[in-house]
């Protein structure tokens, strides 16, 4: 099965992460990396790996960038990864033994979230479909990120991927400012009745940052993970605070 799978990764200034990610993909005949014109060493690092095919494309939206990346794949299946995803050995072993029936279009995986290499007990990071059959899905933009609509059956993988972003807190904040501006636009455009509970809490503007902190620390038990758990809770608090600020700004613009 492994020779039927092409890992696909999008990058933008990922020099802190990309080498660790690509080092776990030497089993793949080819890895497709689409770089959004990074200004750091991301592209240089990626070119060191003999199985990497690097393309560079100016970023417009996540959905458009992923659609372009998928168009570069020639194998039947693709493993869609972020630049801070680590593919452990048990995950490789599981996908190598797969024998997908014709009506299966994708496989979903859960994640172990790590802070600087230390895994957390639980996080807000939800499972997602990562292994996809070419031509059996479509990608669309939803707020700040892309979503995948799979046309046929999706099965669940037992092994987990690892999310371990090593970028600085400053970079995290810069990225969240961009993401949450788009998320605020989505929340403004979506009627209250069509939002999930999390979206309704966010749309209240003030509630979300103060809800997320105790929820992550206590309900998700991050407080038991020491400094890594505190860092994760702080990051989530910052992200929700940035979103609240964007929602207040958008409200102010409407009343001018």
- Tell me what pLDDT residue 256 has: 46
What architecture (CATH level 2) is domain 2-164?
Alpha-Beta Complex (3.90)
Is this prediction's pTM over 0.95?
Answer: no
How far apart CA 123 and CA 255 sit, in angstroms, is 37
Cα–Cα distance, 32 to 103 (Å, whole number): 26
- Per DSSP, 15 falls in state T
The per-residue pLDDT for 211 is 93
Q: Structure tokens of 82?
A: 């972020």
pLDDT tens-digit map of 231-254: 999 999 999 999 999 998 865 555
- Domain ranges (residues) in the chain: 2-164, 169-254
Would you state the pLDDT for residue 145?
81
CB 110 within 8 A of CB 127: yes
Give me the residues of the chain with pLDDT under 70, please: 250-256
Nearest alpha-carbon partner for 63 in 121, 156, 149, 187 = 149
User: What's the confidence (pLDDT) of residue 255?
Assistant: 47
Residue holding tokens 């105790």?
Answer: 214
Q: What is the pLDDT of residues 190-212, one digit of tens each?
A: 999 899 988 999 988 888 999 99
Using the structure block, give the residue that is written with the tokens 């794949």. 73
The pair of structure tokens assigned to 122 is 């639980």
């Amino acid at each position: 099965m492994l020779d039927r799978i092409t890992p696909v990764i999008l990058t933008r200034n990922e020099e802190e992460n990309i080498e660790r990610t690509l080092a776990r993909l030497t089993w793949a005949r080819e890895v497709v990396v689409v770089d959004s014109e990074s200004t750091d060493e991301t592209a240089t690092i990626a070119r060191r790996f003999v199985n990497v095919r690097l393309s560079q494309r100016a970023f417009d939206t996540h959905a458009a960038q992923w659609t372009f990346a998928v168009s570069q794949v020639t194998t039947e299946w693709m493993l869609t990864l972020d630049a801070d995803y680590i593919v452990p050995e048990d995950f490789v072993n599981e996908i190598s033994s797969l024998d997908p029936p014709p009506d299966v279009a994708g496989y979903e995986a859960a994640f172990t979230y790590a802070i600087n290499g230390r895994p957390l007990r639980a996080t807000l990071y939800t499972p997602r479909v990562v292994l996809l059959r070419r031509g059996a899905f479509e990608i669309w933009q939803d707020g700040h990120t892309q979503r995948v609509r799979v046309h046929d059956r999706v099965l669940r993988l037992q092994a987990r991927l690892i999310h371990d972003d090593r970028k600085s807190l400053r970079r995290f904040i810069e990225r969240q400012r961009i993401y949450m501006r788009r998320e605020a636009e989505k929340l403004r455009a979506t009627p209250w009745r069509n939002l999930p509970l999390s979206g309704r809490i966010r749309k209240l503007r003030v509630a979300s940052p103060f809800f997320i902190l105790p929820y992550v620390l206590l309900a998700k038990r991050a407080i038991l993970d020491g400094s890594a758990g505190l860092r994760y809770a702080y990051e989530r608090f910052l992200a929700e605070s940035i979103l609240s600020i964007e929602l207040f700004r958008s409200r102010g613009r409407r009343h001018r």
